[in-house]
Amino acid sequence: SARFSGKAPGCLSKSNKSKSSGSQNKPRIAVIGACGGIGQPLALLLKLNPSIGELILVDKDNMAGVAADLSHIETPAKVSHFTTQNPGDALKGGVDIIVLPAGVPRKPGMKRSDLFVSNAKVVYDTAKAMGEHSPDSILLIITNPVNSVVPVACEVLKNQGKLNPKKIFGASTLDSVRAATFIGEITNTDPREVVVPLIGGHSGTTIIPLLSRSHPSVTLEGEKRDEFVKKLQNAGTAVVQAKAGKGSATLAMAYAGSRLCFGIIRAMQGESNVVESAYVVSDIYPELKYLATPLLLGKNGIEKNLGLGKMNDYETDLFCKAVPQMKKDVALGEKYVKEQG
């Protein structure tokens, strides 16, 4: 049966058979915002993956130094770089995957949605550049607020007639990563063995773990279950508070982004049963145009949306309570694109 991927970087199968430079048929990946707090460790994790042919590092800040630094690591991925405000400069040759961690992080007291005003533009510009120069790319959005900026990207691409809903991913993977870690701690299990399906979105109460379907099975009820759910929903905020004005999760987020990216690559290269939850265009629940659910990945992005599946009453209640917020989050993104004309 399908399992979540969750493989750590460095444990990846070496399926590429090319002999010369080692980069033929391997994906070209652009990282937009590669100089930033998430961008740098993410670029490092991607560089360590021997399945990647080329890394194109893009940032408005000087990208040359980080690129020179990374290029010395003895793995096949070639490193190129662009210092530019315009992501289009980097996408002209076409890339297989665009990973977008650009944008500003939260400060204590802020909600993820407070970042929309600052971060919508880079998502808008990236989607526009993708539609113009590299419409067949897979786009993996890490920039917050994910619940609202994924609709921004999709509306831009739709307006260009270039939207392929199977190729646009909002990274909610850090919620899967944290859920496995916290359940591993509670049950004294190796967290690498723990899989908790995640649905909803990537903010506060829209982060919904389906413990009733976790693997191995977990029995957590009453206050203990409430505590776990609260800790998971508040985990990003806890990091923001601990960093005390110096940003939000960068290392675990880089890991989570790379995990989703590697799952996408493994599926692209023919591995079967690669499953990850992500926030995507969805027709699973009539009121929500976008929804995070477990997805079976394939050669061209999403092969099959595995849907909400079976939920118990507690999980159904969490989901129903989150629906109004998720609708608002989507509306915010759609309104922004309309206003740009």
Cβ within 8 Å of residue 340, ≥6 positions away: 124
Is 175 catalytic? The answer is yes
- Residue 240 sits in the site that holds ligand LMR (CB under 6 A): yes
Select 97 or 253, whichever has its Cβ closest to ligand LMR: 253
Which residue in 239, 254, 281, 308 binds ligand LMR (CB under 6 A)? 239
In one letter, which amino acid is 179? A
Token pair 């890991």 is found at 255
Number of residues that bind ligand LMR (CB under 6 A): 11
In one letter, which amino acid is 171? A
Could you tell me which of 292, 31, 326, 334 has the C-alpha nearest to residue 156?
334
d(CA 47, CA 257): 13
For residue 206, the minimal CB distance to ligand LMR (Å) is: 12
27-35, 52-60, 148-156, 233-241 -> range binding ligand LMR (CB under 6 A): 233-241
Give the residue at shortest CB distance from ligand LMR: 236
- Residue 144 sits in the site that holds ligand LMR (CB under 6 A): yes
Of the candidates 59, 81, 96, 175, the residue annotated as catalytic is: 175
The dihedrals phi and psi of 80, each to the nearest 5 degrees, come to -125, 170
For residue 82, the minimal CB distance to ligand LMR (Å) is: 25
d(CA 247, CA 154): 27
Which residue in 99, 140, 198, 249 binds ligand LMR (CB under 6 A)? 249
d(CA 314, CA 321): 11
Is 202 catalytic? The answer is yes
The answer to whether 135 touches 174, Cβ cutoff 8 Å, is no
The token duo for 22 is: 């080692």
Which residue in 174, 195, 208, 280 binds ligand LMR (CB under 6 A)? 174
For residue 9, the minimal CB distance to ligand LMR (Å) is: 19
Which residue in 49, 143, 212, 248 binds ligand LMR (CB under 6 A)? 248
For residue 341, the minimal CB distance to ligand LMR (Å) is: 30
Select 106 or 167, whichever has its Cβ closest to ligand LMR: 106
How many residues in total does the chain contain?
Answer: 341
Instruction: Pick left, alpha or beta for residue 34 (phi over 0 → left; psi -120 to 50 → alpha; otherwise beta).
Output: alpha
Could you tell me which of 126, 44, 33, 130 has the C-alpha nearest to residue 82?
33
Select 174 or 211, whichever has its Cβ closest to ligand LMR: 174
For residue 256, the minimal CB distance to ligand LMR (Å) is: 9
For residue 157, count other CB atoms closer than 10 A to its CB.
21
Which residue in 28, 47, 112, 128 binds ligand LMR (CB under 6 A)? 112
For residue 17, the minimal CB distance to ligand LMR (Å) is: 38
Token pair 């940032």 is found at 59
Cβ within 8 Å of residue 242, ≥6 positions away: none
Beta strands in 69-174 (DSSP E): 78-83, 97-100, 138-141, 168-170
d(CA 162, CA 122): 18
For residue 191, the minimal CB distance to ligand LMR (Å) is: 17
Contact map string, positions 71 to 110, toward ligand LMR, x by CB under 6 A: ----------------------------------xx----
Which residue in 236, 257, 294, 333 binds ligand LMR (CB under 6 A)? 236
Binding site for ligand LMR (CB under 6 A): 105-106, 112, 144, 174, 236, 239-240, 248-249, 253
Active site residues: 175, 202
